[in-house]
Chain A
């Protein structure tokens, strides 16, 4: 029974890392501009994510090492420093976007500008990390995150044409503005397959002390946890497709437009439920990103680390997330548009993807780490496909940002 509760690691990874400001914004844009046509991007991204998250969990269970440990160990300090630098830039940018998401949620609830909420939000994130344990954070976020199921409820209330929704799950070419279509598809994939999830999840496995009896639980956790996020993202596309075009909105320009996505289905409560969902999912993501940053740094340099330990025990680890939060709050407190930061951060996440994915090809086939739990040919074929996809994304992101963004 206790083991089954562990699936919450997957839900929290998903609530925090999957459905967050990036997925909400890109899904809403996709639905508004192209109806159900881009659902396939979420489906594809989720499938890739499930495979990679399962592998990062399997790696940690089999080797007692995290992905960051593995990178330093297997590829040496130079590649680790490259990964650290790139991931730090991406993480800080996405962390800023998530702090902005929480602050926007509070703005919609209270009417006070997100800018004023930036510092209190950052403080709350930090305080929870400073005083809390991995377990309380994990269980708290996954329980509260269930509120985002409201998107799925709203989807059923709206009663979409299911046949068209199903057709959207298959890739199709747009009838107009191909560059913009491709840009949103890339952003969705970038928002879905985020490298920091692998670092976070594999560290979570060690924090939760999963032993070798957890391979099955890991598979279930990865699959259901990430599918949970995928279903929510699809629900947002469906809602956006039904809410915006009839009202003449094809291009989402501000979060105010996204905030009304639940109103047609849930009435006056819609805005509050949306704001709470935004607030909680982004808060989860902010916790996860701050921790991921501290995990990568500490593990790569060989410091002692654990979210369960007191800051006094591992000061270096605790100060990494502290500094990350302090840096990331600056753009939001300065009043930069969170939606813009979000869109931009999804694009650089997509660009950094090869660096996050290629290590899997080596680590998951190295018996010195995973013993008999290496990838099968199918697992390797999927990783190769994702590496190819990652390179394609990395190359097309910049041109698409110029022509289609």
Chain B
């Protein structure tokens, strides 16, 4: 498996095939024999901003930004065209944010919750 080609920026779906975000970054950790291991996938807008800052040369600013949500690699079920994860999507940042939108925005718009 090629991490950048097959994992980074790929669509994440839960077991019910609902899209739950994309792999915005990959977290590696060195094990005791100093071999890199994939620890988690990182999700969230702040992660995207950090990648953007790094690529335009603002490394210091990028380092100061807090990372996004980390989804442990053990939750990855299948890496195919999309990446299937076995988590409840209500625990993921996208669905939490959408829940906030339902509660605070949609309820004020007619037909928003019907």
Which residues of A approach B to under 8 Å, CB–CB? 63-65, 69, 72-73, 76-78, 80-81, 130-131, 300-305, 310-312, 314-316, 319, 322
Q: In the bound complex, do residue A310 and residue B52 qualify as a contact, i.e. CB atoms below 8 Å apart?
A: no
Report if B102 contacts A (CB, 8 A): yes
Is there an interface contact between B106 and A303, defined as CB atoms closer than 8 Å?
no
Determine if B39 is an interface residue (Cβ-Cβ < 8 Å). no
Question: Which chain A residue lies CB-closest to B52?
Answer: A78
Q: Would you mind naming 22 contact pairs between A and B with Cβ atoms under 8 Å apart? A: A63-B81, A64-B81, A72-B9, A76-B8, A76-B9, A76-B51, A77-B22, A77-B48, A77-B51, A78-B52, A301-B21, A301-B45, A302-B19, A302-B22, A303-B21, A303-B94, A304-B20, A312-B112, A312-B114, A315-B101, A315-B106, A316-B94
**Shortest Cβ distance from B17 into A: residue:** A304
Contact of A303 among B19, B51, B112 (CB under 8 A): B19
Q: Mark B1-40, 1 if CB is under 8 A from A, else 0.
A: 0000000111110000011111010000000000000000
Contacts of B18 in A (CB 8 A): 304
Q: Which residues of B contact A64 (CB under 8 A)?
A: 81
- Contact B106–A312 (Cβ < 8 Å): yes
Q: Is B61 an interface residue (CB 8 A)?
A: no
Contacts of B94 in A (CB 8 A): 302-303, 316
- Contacting residues, chain B, for A81 (C-beta < 8 A): 48, 52
Number of A-B contacts (CB under 8 A): 70
B105 within 8 A of A: yes
Distance between Cα atoms of A233 and B112 in the complex (Å)? 39
- A315 and B8 form a contact (CB under 8 A): no
Mostly, the B contact residues are mixed
**What CA separation (Å) do A94 and B8 show in the bound complex?**
33
| Residue B57 lies at the interface, judged by CB distance under 8 Å to chain A | no
> For residue A314, which residues in chain B have a CB less than 8 angstroms away from its CB?
98
Assuming A77-B24, A78-B51, A319-B105, what are 4 further A-B pairs, CB within 8 angstroms? A73-B11, A312-B102, A312-B106, A312-B112
B105 to chain A, nearest CB (A): 7
A72 to B48, CA, bound (A): 12
Least distance between B92 CB and chain A CB atoms (Å): 11
Interface contact B19-A305, CB-CB below 8 Å? yes
Residues of A within 8 A of B98 (CB): 314-316
How far is B21's CA from A300's CA once the two chains are assembled, in angstroms? 9
Measured in the bound complex, the distance between the Cα atoms of B45 and A300 in whole Å is: 12
**What 1/0 flags go to B92-111 for Cβ under 8 Å of A?**
00100110011001100101
Cα–Cα, bound, A69→B10 (Å): 9
Query: Given A64-B81, A76-B9, A81-B52, do A302 and B101 touch, yes or no (CB 8 Å)?
Result: no
Q: Give B109 Cβ to nearest chain A Cβ, in Å.
A: 8
CA distance A310 to B12 in the complex (A): 21
What's the minimum C-beta distance from A302 to chain B, rounded to whole angstroms? 3
A81, B21: Cα distance in complex, Å? 15
For residue B64, CB closer than 8 A to chain A, the reply is: no
A310–B106 alpha-carbon span in the complex (Å): 11
Q: How far is the CA of A77 from the CA of B105 in the complex (A)?
A: 28
A287 to B9, CA, bound (A): 29
Query: How far, in whole Å, are A223 and B106 apart by their CA atoms in the complex?
Result: 40
**Which of A72, A310, A315: most chain B CB closer than 10 A?**
A315
B66 on interface, CB distance cutoff 8 Å: no
With A76-B9, A77-B52 already in contact, the answer to whether A301 and B22 are too (CB < 8 A) is yes
Separation of A305 and B21 alpha carbons in the complex (Å):
11
Q: Find the A residue at minimum CB distance from B55.
A: A78
Q: Which of A76, A80, A319 contacts B101 (CB under 8 A)?
A: A319
Which residues of B from 49 to 107 have beta carbons under 8 Å from A?
A: 51-52, 55, 81, 94, 97-98, 101-102, 105-106
If A77-B48, A316-B98 touch, does A304 touch B111 (CB 8 Å cutoff)? no
Closest B-chain residue to A315, C-beta based? B101
Give the complex CA separation of A329 and B24 in angstroms.
33
Whether A73 pairs with B10 at a CB distance below 8 angstroms is yes
Q: A312 near B22 (CB under 8 angstroms)?
A: no
User: How far is A301 from B111 in the complex, measured between Cα atoms in Å?
Assistant: 25
Beta-carbon contact of B97 and A316 below 8 Å: yes
Structural contact, A131 and B11, CB atoms closer than 8 A: no
User: What is the distance, in angstroms, from A1's C-beta to the closest C-beta of chain B?
Assistant: 30
B9 CB contacts on chain A under 8 angstroms: 72-73, 76-77, 80
Which B residues touch A301, using CB under 8 A? 21-22, 45
**A130 & B111 in contact (Cβ 8 Å cutoff):** yes
Task: Find the B residue at minimum CB distance from A76.
Answer: B9
Cβ of B21: which chain A residues have Cβ within 8 Å of it?
A: 301-303
A73, A78, A302: the one contacting B12 at CB < 8 Å is A302
Bound Cα distance from A314 to B21, whole angstroms: 12
Q: Of B20, B45, B97, B113, which contacts A312 at CB under 8 A? A: B113
